[in-house]
Amino acid sequence: MSQVKTADSHTFEGLKKTFFQKTRQCEDPLLLLLGFAMVLSVSAGAILAGVITGVWVLNGSLKERWLEIRSNRVAVACLLFFALHVVGMLWTEDLRWGLYMIEKQWRLLFVPILITMMRKERADHYIAAFLAGMTVLHLVYYMYALEFTGLRIQSHVTYNVLLAVAAYLTLYYMFFREINRKYKVLLFFLFISFSVNMFITIGRAGQLAYFIAISLILLQYYNTNLKKGIILVIVIIPSLFASAYIISDTFRYRAYTAVDEIINYERDKPSKHVNDRITFYLNTLHIIKSNPIAGVGTGDFPEEYRKINSKFSPGVEEIYNPHNNYLMVTAKLGIIGLIFFIYIFYTQFIHAKKTNDQYKNLRFALLIIFLFVMNFDSYMVSYYSAVVYVYFTGFLYK
């Protein structure tokens, strides 16, 4: 009888070991598929994230991965910021919206999972998957711009920012990595195609991010001769801007409208451009002024904004997003929330500063680009931009 039990035990252990091995073998293909699909479909990205989470749970190394999470400051910072959203429900009146906002933060919980699953030696493959997805996406936008289709997939708000990231990556591999010449030629044509697409679409924040991306490449490439790098930035960036202004009617109109509405700003003037954004910012600052320490709670921003808007700018639409990530966090969770939010990026900066490998420039570039564009929208809440940032965080900050 004891021999039968021993045999059964060995059989069970063998099956368990095989199962764990199979689940681990699934991880890399799923991660690559996520890198490709996450920019093309919310549903596909969410389903893959769910499957990846399931595989992560079932792979048999939860204890080891939990220890890795505890020792990773970036992962801990993300968990703390998510936890603060849960705590913020204590002083929230609109519990339904609060739960919705917590659900929107699921990407933060995905950071520790990716950090413990992704492998540094596969980083180039993860980036290639993202670039493949962006290549397909920007071709869809060409067809949309040429009126071959009404399909856009993403809003210009996130699309142009991700296009700027893709443009940076093409230059990053061309300037900083030793790769086959045929791949450099391919990347060069991709960069040109991304650049043209950038200025026939209408995302101003992404267009500014594009100029920042080019500036970063120049400054990073000439890091031992910053004077030369700065001179090139001063020459090249205005030249690119002027070229886009002359060639692209869309870019010219959007640039002109932005300047005009800044100069002639009116608080109660409806607009779909910069005038509205300034009103959103001013109204949100009023909310922050009344609740500076802990904010209005995770779910009460829409109602508090409605009150302020009806008083100061009744002619302007009511919103649930002030189009500024820093203001949104501070309005919801106060200065405490802003500190927790900034702490995420502080831990990434420290990691980038201490880690001297071939991805150092990329770490700083992504950090700078996203810290900049979050002044113009809540990119850590919007699905496409947030999931891309989380995906890159997974393998750049192990």
**Mean pLDDT to the nearest integer, 362-382:** 97
pLDDT band at 370 (very low <50, low <70, confident <90, very high): very high
Angle at 264 between CA 259 and CA 266, to 5 degrees: 125
Q: Six-digit token pair at 395?
A: 């393998």
**Mean pLDDT to the nearest integer, 358-372:** 98
Contact partners, residue 307, CB within 8 Å, separation at least 6: none
**Mean pLDDT to the nearest integer, 333-338:** 98
**Contact present, 197 and 138 (Cβ < 8 Å):** yes
Residue 104: pLDDT over 80: yes
Residue 321: pLDDT over 80: yes
**Contact present, 170 and 193 (Cβ < 8 Å):** no
Contact partners, residue 331, CB within 8 Å, separation at least 6: 284, 287, 288, 291, 295, 296, 301, 304, 305, 322
**Mean pLDDT to the nearest integer, 98-110:** 94
Model pLDDT, residue 3:
53
**Mean pLDDT to the nearest integer, 254-266:** 94
Residue 6: pLDDT over 60: no
pLDDT tens profile 58-87: 887 889 999 999 999 999 999 999 999 999
**Mean pLDDT to the nearest integer, 207-225:** 97
Model pLDDT, residue 2:
54
Model pLDDT, residue 10:
56
d(CA 233, CA 212): 10
**Mean pLDDT to the nearest integer, 359-377:** 97
Picking from 121, 99, 110, 142, the residue whose alpha carbon sits closest to that of residue 28 is 121
Q: Six-digit token pair at 115?
A: 């950090």
Model pLDDT, residue 134:
98
pLDDT band at 12 (very low <50, low <70, confident <90, very high): low
**Contact present, 73 and 351 (Cβ < 8 Å):** yes
Angle at 153 between CA 252 and CA 110, to 5 degrees: 115
Q: Six-digit token pair at 13?
A: 């252990």
Residue type, 135: T
Residue type, 155: S
pLDDT band at 46 (very low <50, low <70, confident <90, very high): very high
Picking from 233, 234, 165, the residue whose alpha carbon sits closest to that of residue 198 is 165
Side-chain-facing half-sphere of 111: CA atoms under 13 Å: 28
Residue type, 163: L
Q: What percent of the chain has pLDDT over 90?
A: 88
**Contact present, 333 and 294 (Cβ < 8 Å):** yes
**Mean pLDDT to the nearest integer, 317-332:** 96
**Contact present, 384 and 43 (Cβ < 8 Å):** no
Model pLDDT, residue 35:
98
Beta strands in the chain (DSSP E): none
What burial class does residue 9 get, using C-beta atoms within 10 Å of its C-beta: 0-12 exposed, 13-18 middle, 19+ buried?
exposed
**Mean pLDDT to the nearest integer, 35-57:** 96
